[in-house]
């Protein structure tokens, strides 16, 4: 009992560090000058959800997943910002705000997916083909979205490599999971990603290449990002239990 309480306190401390780092980046990047009320509300909500979710995880799993998330965020965000897909208010390549914010949002997405999976599990076919369907659909929709909004010509070799790596990691992870879980991750990632991306753009925290309110392909990129974090974490023996 004492060991479990100690692990819970450690997990809460990890989430607190991530939240504190995100908030420090918020002030360090002068984002507070924009008075982004909706974003702040979303950030606090994510922190509360993450604290609650962390209490149900092993300390080692949470730590590995958060480190993998931070590393993935640095590479992914740099690839997108250096290619000009979007720009942050603080001019960061990438912005520390989003690098730390990733961990809170992804853990929140997985928490939503966990409950969504309880609804979907057992109600849809679970075959090898159906398991890969959500990841394949996300990959195709990213490409279609890039083409539709004119982003394909600006894709750098680094950004292309990041998307190839995320696609492979997503397919690798998905083939070992149930269709219900994969679909739950896709739905929760897209929903949270769209809300977060659009609110941030609306409040001036970041802007997209042609001033769009939200990028179609970025919504499905969040699915690939989440599966990639899960895939790499699993390879490091930190498997998120759903």
Residue 97 lies in a domain: yes
Please report whether residue 49 resides in a domain. Answer: yes
The token duo for 9 is: 């306190």
Whether residue 242 is contained in a domain is answered as: no
| Full-model pTM | 0.93
Q: Along the 242 residues of the chain, how does pLDDT read in single tens digits? A: 556 667 688 899 999 999 999 999 999 999 999 999 988 888 888 888 888 888 888 899 999 999 999 999 999 999 999 988 889 998 888 999 999 999 999 999 999 999 999 988 778 888 888 999 999 999 999 999 999 888 888 889 999 999 999 999 999 999 999 999 999 999 999 999 888 888 888 899 998 876 677 778 888 999 999 999 999 999 998 888 76
Number of domains observed in the structure of the chain: 1
In a domain, 98, yes or no: yes
In the prediction, which pLDDT does 3 show? Answer: 62
Residue 240, in any domain of the structure: no
| CA 147 to each of CA 121, 153, 217, 224: distance values in angstroms, whole numbers, following the listed order | 34, 9, 9, 18
- Give domain status of residue 65, yes or no: yes
Provide the domain limits for residue 128. 2-235
Position 8 in a domain: yes
Q: Is the dihedral of CA 83, 151, 73, 164 positive or negative?
A: negative
Tell me whether residue 241 is in a domain. no
Report phi then psi at 86, rounded to 5: -155, 165
């Amino acid at each position: 009992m004492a060991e479990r309480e100690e692990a819970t306190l450690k997990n809460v401390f990890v989430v607190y560090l991530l939240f504190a780092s995100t908030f420090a980046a918020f002030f360090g990047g002068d984002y507070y000058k924009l008075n982004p009320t909706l974003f702040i509300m979303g950030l606090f909500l994510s922190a509360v959800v993450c604290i609650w979710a962390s209490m149900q995880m092993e300390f080692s799993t949470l730590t590995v997943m958060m480190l993998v998330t931070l590393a993935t965020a640095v590479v992914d965000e740099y690839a997108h910002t250096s290619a000009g897909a979007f720009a942050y208010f603080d001019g960061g390549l990438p912005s520390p705000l989003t690098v730390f914010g990733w961990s809170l949002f992804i853990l929140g997405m997985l928490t939503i997916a966990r409950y969504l999976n309880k609804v979907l599990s057992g109600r849809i076919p679970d075959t090898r083909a159906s398991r890969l369907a959500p990841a394949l659909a996300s990959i195709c929709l990213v490409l279609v979205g890039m083409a539709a909004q004119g982003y394909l010509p600006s894709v750098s070799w680094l950004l292309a490599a990041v998307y190839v790596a995320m696609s492979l990691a997503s397919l690798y992870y998905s083939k070992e999971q149930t269709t219900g879980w994969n679909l739950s991750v896709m739905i929760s990632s897209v929903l949270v990603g769209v809300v977060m991306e659009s609110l941030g753009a609306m409040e001036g925290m970041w802007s997209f290449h042609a001033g769009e309110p939200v990028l179609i392909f970025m919504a499905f990129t969040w699915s690939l990002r989440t599966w990639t974090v899960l895939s790499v974490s699993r390879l490091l023996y930190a498997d998120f239990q759903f």
